[in-house]
Amino acid sequence: MKEETPVLKGKTKKELEEICVSLGLEKYRAAQIYTGIYKSRYTTIDQFTTLSKEVREKLKTHTLYPEIEIGRDLVSKEDGTRKFTFYVGENKEIEAVWIPSGDGGRKTICISSQIGCTLNCKFCATGLLEYKGNLHTWQILDQVLQVERLVGDRATNIVFMGMGEPMHNYFSVMKAAHILRDKDAFGLGGLRITISTAGVTTGINRFIENKEPFNFAISLNHPNPNARSSVMDVNDKHPLEKLIESAKRFTKELDRAITFEYVMIPDVNMGRDNAERLAKIARSVNKCKINVIPLNTDFTGWRRPTDEEVKEFVMHLKAKTTAPILNRRSPGRDINGACGMLALKGIRSETTK
């Protein structure tokens, strides 16, 4: 059986060394290739001028240096957020979002880990898509490379909160995260990278056992164990009680705070009893923060909460817990780039392509 042609992107330094040796090249060439891909952000093999022409020709002949293809590029007229659609195969699309802060200090890229999603969170448009597979590590990293090139700037933060469930593509996601963290590659600190999950406890426990150095967020979205499944079907396989046990273990063993994401849905999870239950969870976990997010989608028949409803819910929450609470609001909502909106095609902004 013919071996597949190796793809240079998405490889660790050790893997690049193995490729170099297999091609009869000196092992030290791997470090030059590694920094060229991730630090210098070269887009073609010909740009690797630290390599001789002979070495470059050998790489072009025996390896691949692909990139995901840009499709749509939407720019928010409200806050400068940009949503990019990329093609990763025939009838296969993913989306990534560039989210600049108002003061220009924080520049976040929200990236995808799967084509579609294996889960069906009721408020999330991605859950309506057919699942078409996991992304390779190089496709995950190329979202960052492509977005930075398109916006002409470098990210300060990366969040794995785009399309897909990161814990269902654990090894590719973690490999990408470690390359993003590496000082010889993208050079982002571990705490500038956030991995998220809808509540896959097996993945959380593996994360803890591996002592991963990244921030971690759980999409909680309902604090009642008997009602959470009506919002998130992941709760059927990974019940809330087990999820909270894993969150407690995270803060105890890694000695770091965990983040709970909470999409606020009127008449579903915003009652005073819900606030009290959520606060109780926060107190039990000890080291945590809560990001509240107003519902952005309406295809379920649910509606977005009013500012007054959000204020009241947060007030009840603050009365019962000292955990930091942040209203994440919804950057990019006018281009369907906010939480839960990726994959929606209803465009209310102008495309640049």
Q: For the segment 230-280, what is each residue's pLDDT rounded down to a tens digit? A: 999 999 999 999 999 999 999 999 999 999 999 999 999 999 999 999 999
**Are 106 and 157 a contacting pair, CB within 8 Å?**
yes
Q: Which residues are annotated as a binding site for [4Fe-4S] cluster?
A: 117, 121, 124
**Are 160 and 111 a contacting pair, CB within 8 Å?**
yes
Q: Which residues are annotated as a binding site for S-adenosyl-L-methionine?
A: 164-165, 196, 219-221, 296
127: which 2 tokens? 């859950």
100: which 2 tokens? 């600049």
pTM, full prediction:
0.94
Residue 172, pLDDT score = 98
Residue 35, pLDDT score = 97
Mean of pLDDT values over 270-294: 96
Residue 104, pLDDT score = 67
CA distance 12 to 78: 39
Taking the CB of residue 300, how many other CB atoms lie within 10 A of it?
13
Q: What is the pLDDT of residues 302-331, one digit of tens each?
A: 999 999 999 999 999 999 999 999 997 778
Q: How many CA atoms lie within 13 A of 43 on its CB side?
A: 9
Q: Are strands 258-264 and 193-197 parallel, antiparallel or unpaired?
A: unpaired
DSSP letter assigned to residue 153:
S
Q: Is 95 noted as a catalytic residue in this protein?
A: yes
Residue 332, pLDDT score = 85
SS3 205: helix
pLDDT band at residue 334, thresholds of 50, 70 and 90?
confident
Angle at CA of residue 344, ends 162 and 139, nearest 5°: 35
How far, CA to CA in Å, does 217 sit from each of 131, 242, 247? 22, 16, 10
What is the chain's Cα-based Rg? 21
Q: What is the pLDDT of residues 10-63, one digit of tens each?
A: 999 999 999 999 999 999 999 999 999 999 999 999 999 999 999 999 999 999
Considering 20, 110, 288, 339, which one is annotated as catalytic?
Answer: 339
Residue 286, pLDDT score = 84
Considering 95, 110, 212, 261, which one is annotated as catalytic?
Answer: 95
CA distance 182 to 6: 22
Q: Which residues are annotated as a binding site?
A: 117, 121, 124, 164-165, 196, 219-221, 296
pLDDT band at residue 346, thresholds of 50, 70 and 90?
very low
